[in-house]
């Protein structure tokens, strides 16, 4: 079966879902969109290895995506896994097991490549004449940063401060949510590492864009319009609002956070760490406000496939 002209697709296997997305001509024109819910954060051992029950979740999700794609007459999907699998010590074994049982070999993108794709997605979203752009992406395992003034970023970095990573780090260090000194220490650590990563790069005058669920949910928490009003509604996250919410989140158990605007049930436990990291990024980069972009790495990959057809040497379709 060959890919239909003008159609490209990806299977994005992350911590909380495996999202099959096939589009025609633009990420704004979905032909197929299907999510299989995952909870891989609950299937990690203390060394961040994915346990057998997590592998089973991924196998089931990949099989489901293949079946849906085949029924829709879609082939040539690019399957990729994010940091929850990429950074697992047993990643090679997980990928091999999934391939053996499903016939689909998941690909992993290095952190800097995820940052580059998120940057390209944001440039497409805001327009190529947006000017100097800084992209901040707080994922589950890592934080991606990218900046530049042209089609390609001049700067990309990936740092191990994702919301899931920081939540586990806080727990391992015995830092309870209400331990304000401990939380402050971790925030300073993130801030200092970001400043060091940015050494020699000036981004304070760049337009700052948040390209992740973490930023989207924090913006909604701070008063941005809900997602059901559509992707084209302008949304921002202000540093002052974020600072006001962090101590409130620290006082709440996860079930109470899940009842707040924008905070989904499966991300509630990680919402405090995500807020701490987002604040550290904004302070370290010199931005009091971040604009929210609904596109990120997945859409950047789709755009690369749309532009390259079947001949892209980095993302050759399966």
Each residue's pLDDT tens digit, 274-309: 999 999 999 999 999 999 999 999 999 999 999 854
Question: Cα(73)–Cα(91) distance, rounded to whole angstroms?
Answer: 30
Tell me which of 59-68, 172-181, 204-213 is least confident.
Answer: 172-181
> In this structure, how many other beta carbons lie within 10 angstroms of the beta carbon of residue 299?
26
What pLDDT shows up at residue 5?
Answer: 56
pLDDT of 144 reads: 97
Average pLDDT over residues 249-260: 95
- pLDDT tens per residue across span 86-137: 999 999 999 999 999 999 999 999 999 999 999 999 999 999 889 999 999 9
Q: Using CA atoms, how far apart are residues 149 and 133, in angstroms rounded to an integer?
A: 6
Per-residue pLDDT tens for 123-147?
999 998 899 999 999 999 999 999 9
Give kind and range of the element (H or E) at residue 208. Answer: strand 207-210
pLDDT at residue 42 in the model: 94
Distance CA 144, CA 222 (A): 23
Distance (Å, whole) CA 192 – CA 195: 5
pLDDT of residue 173: 79
State the pLDDT at residue 313. 45
Q: Any bridge partners for residue 20, and if so which? A: 11, 34
pLDDT score, position 180? 85
At residue 308, the pLDDT reads 54
Query: What band does 75 get if pLDDT is binned at 50, 70 and 90?
Result: confident
C-beta separation of 277 from 161 below 8 A: yes
Q: Quick one: average pLDDT of 82-89?
A: 96
Mean residue pLDDT across the chain: 92
Q: In the chain, pLDDT over 90 holds for what percent of residues?
A: 86
- Helices 52-71, 91-102: crossing angle, 10 deg rounding: 40
Rounded percentage of the chain residues whose pLDDT exceeds 70: 94
Pairing of strands 30-37, 17-24: antiparallel
Instruction: Give, in order, the Cα–Cα distances in Å from 116 to each of 6, 222, 279, 288, 298.
Output: 23, 28, 22, 23, 11
For the chain, the straight-line distance linking the first and the last C-alpha, in angstroms and rounded, comes to 11
> How far is Cα 176 from Cα 173, in angstroms, rounded to an integer?
9
């Amino acid at each position: 079966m060959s890919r239909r002209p003008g159609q490209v697709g990806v299977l994005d296997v992350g911590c909380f879902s495996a999202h099959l997305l096939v589009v025609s001509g633009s990420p704004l024109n979905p032909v197929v969109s299907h999510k299989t819910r995952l909870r891989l954060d609950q299937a990690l051992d203390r060394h961040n290895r994915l346990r057998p029950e997590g592998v089973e979740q991924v196998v089931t999700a990949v099989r489901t995506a293949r079946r849906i794609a085949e029924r829709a007459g879609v082939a040539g999907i690019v399957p990729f896994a994010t940091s929850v699998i990429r950074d697992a010590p047993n990643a090679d074994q997980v990928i091999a097991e999934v391939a053996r049982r499903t016939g689909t070999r998941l690909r992993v993108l290095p952190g800097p490549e995820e940052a580059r794709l998120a940057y390209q997605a944001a440039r497409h979203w805001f327009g190529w004449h947006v000017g100097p752009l800084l992209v901040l992406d707080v994922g589950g395992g890592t934080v991606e940063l990218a900046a530049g003034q042209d089609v390609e970023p001049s700067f990309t970095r990936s740092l191990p401060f994702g919301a899931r990573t920081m939540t586990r780090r806080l727990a391992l260090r015995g830092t309870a949510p209400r331990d304000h000194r401990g939380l402050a220490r971790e925030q300073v650590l993130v801030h200092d590492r970001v400043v060091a990563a940015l050494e020699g790069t000036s981004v304070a005058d760049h337009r700052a864009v948040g390209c992740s669920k973490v930023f989207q949910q924090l913006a909604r928490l701070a008063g941005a319009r809900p997602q059901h009003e559509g992707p084209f509604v302008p949304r921002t996250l202000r540093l002052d609002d974020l600072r006001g919410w962090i101590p409130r989140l620290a006082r709440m158990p996860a079930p109470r956070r899940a009842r707040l605007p924008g905070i989904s049930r499966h991300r509630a436990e990680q919402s405090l760490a995500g807020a701490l990291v987002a604040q550290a990024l904004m302070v370290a980069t010199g931005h009091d406000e971040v604009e929210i972009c609904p596109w990120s790495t997945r859409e950047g990959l789709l755009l690369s496939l749309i532009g390259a057809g079947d001949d892209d040497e980095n993302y050759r379709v399966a």
